């Protein structure tokens, strides 16, 4: 059997093969039978014309891994399979190298988290997603560094004040940094979202504007999960939505205008006419009641006019409710409804 890449192979008795690799491969090993579970075979490895089972994997002192392979036994079902050839090995090597790079960058970002946490939230999310980190932790590390600066400024302010001196910019800087840090901490603890600092956003924006854009997202990009998607609706959909919003007002128009709406839209006067008429009737009866109470206490021209108007509206709604048995019926309030429904008919 010919090994692939930098692997080494040694055949032993019983058809066993010892495969030495300088990096681990994503293969499962055999699980031995226990009192509570049956034996589970390892990964079925297709190598040239043969099929092998990955029996065990052992880390070597000098680095690398030794795999023990045995010919596949027919009584076992293949649960996990893989190929061992030049193409598959090149892919596994690329994945291994990429994992090493990510781990290297992850350690670097962890060590420099007190700086990376000042970057805009979207960039922190991007770094965390690529390196397998938790973005809010980067913000908290950066806040810890800022709070250390705030403490140093406060000690300096107190020392100078005790000596009869006061530097205004120390006070302003300490107050601003403390306020900003508190806001960022609240964002992290309440919303579990990273938050950049003003200085970090400014420096990143200047670097982005200067042309250092190699794979860098724009500073104004919203973090993933924070953006708002607004779907662009077709004109016909917008028109129908506007109609359904104003449909109760259409019931107040004269019958001929209601019939035009029925021709263009899925309008049925029975859907809203009666509830709208009942609502107007209730409010008009309340108006009649309050007008009668006012007139009984002190008759005035305004109270009498209010009684006539409320009574007229109530009478109209009663007549409309009776007319709905035969078809649509308009209202005096159609004058007010017409301007809000006219554009729907073009």
Task: Quick: pLDDT tens for 84-101.
Answer: 888 888 888 888 887 777
Q: What is the pLDDT of residues 297-313, one digit of tens each?
A: 888 888 899 999 999 99
Q: Whole-structure pTM over 0.75, yes or no?
A: no
| Matching residue, tokens 């031995």 | 32
Q: How many CA atoms lie within 13 A of 103 on its CB side?
A: 6
Q: What is the pLDDT of residues 210-227, one digit of tens each?
A: 776 566 677 776 665 555
**Contact residues for 132 (Cβ-Cβ < 8 A; gap 6+):** 102, 106
pLDDT at 131: 66
With the C-alpha atoms ordered 323, 324, 325, 327, is the resulting torsion angle positive or negative? positive
| Helix 334-341 and helix 255-264, axial crossing angle in degrees, nearest 10 | 30
Q: What is the mean pLDDT of the chain?
A: 85
DSSP 268: -
Region 267-281: mean pLDDT is 90
Region 114-124: mean pLDDT is 82
Region 116-131: mean pLDDT is 78
Task: Tell me the C-alpha distance between 248 and 173, whole Å.
Answer: 59
DSSP 31: B
Strands 17-21 and 44-47: unpaired
Name the least confident of 43-57, 107-121, 315-329. 107-121
Residue 218 vs residue 3, higher pLDDT: 3
Work out the number of other CB atoms within 10 angstroms of the CB of residue 72.
17
Q: What is the pLDDT of residues 313-326, one digit of tens each?
A: 999 999 999 999 99
Strand order in the sheet with 17-21: 8-11, 17-21, 65-71, 50-59, 44-47, 81-83
pLDDT band at 34 (very low <50, low <70, confident <90, very high): confident
pLDDT at 276: 92
pLDDT band at 66 (very low <50, low <70, confident <90, very high): very high
Region 337-343: mean pLDDT is 86
Residue 62 vs residue 155, higher pLDDT: 155
Question: Partners of 20 in the beta sheet?
Answer: 8, 66
pLDDT at 271: 87
């Amino acid at each position: 059997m010919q090994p692939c890449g930098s692997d080494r192979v040694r055949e032993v008795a019983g058809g066993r093969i010892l495969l030495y690799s300088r990096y681990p491969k994503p293969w499962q090993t055999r699980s031995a039978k226990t009192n509570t579970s049956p034996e589970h075979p390892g990964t079925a490895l297709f190598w040239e014309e043969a099929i092998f089972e990955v029996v065990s994997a052992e880390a070597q002192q000098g680095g690398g891994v030794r795999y023990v392979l045995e010919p596949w036994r027919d009584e076992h079902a293949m649960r996990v399979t893989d190929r061992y050839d030049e193409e598959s090995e090149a892919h596994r090597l690329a994945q291994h190298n990429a994992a090493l790079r990510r781990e290297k960058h992850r350690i670097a970002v962890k060590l420099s988290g007190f700086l990376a946490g000042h970057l805009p939230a979207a960039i922190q999310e991007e770094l965390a997603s690529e390196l397998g980190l938790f973005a809010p932790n980067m913000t908290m590390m950066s806040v810890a560094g800022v709070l250390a600066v705030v403490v140093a400024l406060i000690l300096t302010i107190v020392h100078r004040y005790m000596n009869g001196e006061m530097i205004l910019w120390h006070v302003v800087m300490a107050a601003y940094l403390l306020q900003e840090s508190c806001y960022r901490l609240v964002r992290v603890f309440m919303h579990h979202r990273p938050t950049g600092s003003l200085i970090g956003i400014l420096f990143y924006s200047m670097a982005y504007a200067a042309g250092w854009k190699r794979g860098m997202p724009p500073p104004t990009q919203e973090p993933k999960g924070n953006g708002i998607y607004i779907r662009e609706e077709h004109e016909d959909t917008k028109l129908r939505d506007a109609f359904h919003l104003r449909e109760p007002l259409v019931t107040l128009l004269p019958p001929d205008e209601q019939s035009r709406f029925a021709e263009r839209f899925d309008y049925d006067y029975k859907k809203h006419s009666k509830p709208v008429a009942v609502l107007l009737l209730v409010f008009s009866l309340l108006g009649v009641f309050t007008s009668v109470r006012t007139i009984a206490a002190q008759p005035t021209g305004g109270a009498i006019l209010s009684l006539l108007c409320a009574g007229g509206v109530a009478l109209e709604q009663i007549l409309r409710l009776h007319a709905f048995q035969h078809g649509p019926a308009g209202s005096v309030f159609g004058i007010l409804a017409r301007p809000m429904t006219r554009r729907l008919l073009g």
